[in-house]
Amino acid sequence: MPHTQPSLGGRLPPLSVRISDACRMTGIGRSKLYELIKDGAVEVIKVGAITLIPMSSLQALLDRGHREPASPRCCLADTMPPFLVSAILAASLAGTTEAVRRDLASCDDRVRASAEDSVAERMVAALYEPYSEKVGALSALRSVVQR
């Protein structure tokens, strides 16, 4: 059964569209659209068996000009000396619980991402600690590096 948009007298644009309509409107192929949905670049709303894409999500995709990265993301180890990377990671893990450390090695992407976020939050919070606390953290970092 072909899908048609209900007519509201031409006054209001649709709030969401089906997959086939989104492909037609954007010129993006069906497979690529599903890939973007899987990657989280396009939001979907499930209503029973129907998959709807909010127009705002399509507009945001087009506004940011979703592109594939030209080169792989740069990692910390590529920009810093290895001993410094090791020291930063050791210092950030020093105060984490055993549960967080276990979750960092998890095969479940959501569990691992949550643990990574926890460690990252600790690292960012350390940047904003008062100076006196940073001096203590620096001495702790020096002791890790000297081992």
Residue 65 in tokens: 């000009």
Give the pTM: 0.40
- Token pair 């006196």 is found at 132
Residue 32: per-residue pLDDT:
92
Higher-pLDDT residue of 114 and 78 is 114
For the stretch 6-50, pLDDT in tens is 555 567 888 999 999 999 998 999 999 999 998 888 999 999 999
Confidence of residue 5 (pLDDT cuts 50, 70, 90): low
User: For residue 116, what pLDDT is reported?
Assistant: 78
- Rounded to whole angstroms, the Cα distance separating 120 from 93 reads 10
Q: Of 133, 142, 96, 136, whose CA–CA distance to 117 is shortest?
A: 96
Q: How far apart are CA 52 and CA 62, in angstroms?
A: 17
Instruction: Please give the residue that has the higher pLDDT: either 85 or 65.
Output: 65
What is the per-residue pLDDT across 85-137, written as a single tens digit (0 to 9) for each? 666 667 667 777 788 878 878 888 888 888 877 777 777 666 666 544 545 55
Q: What's the CA gap between 52 and 21, in Å, rounded?
A: 10
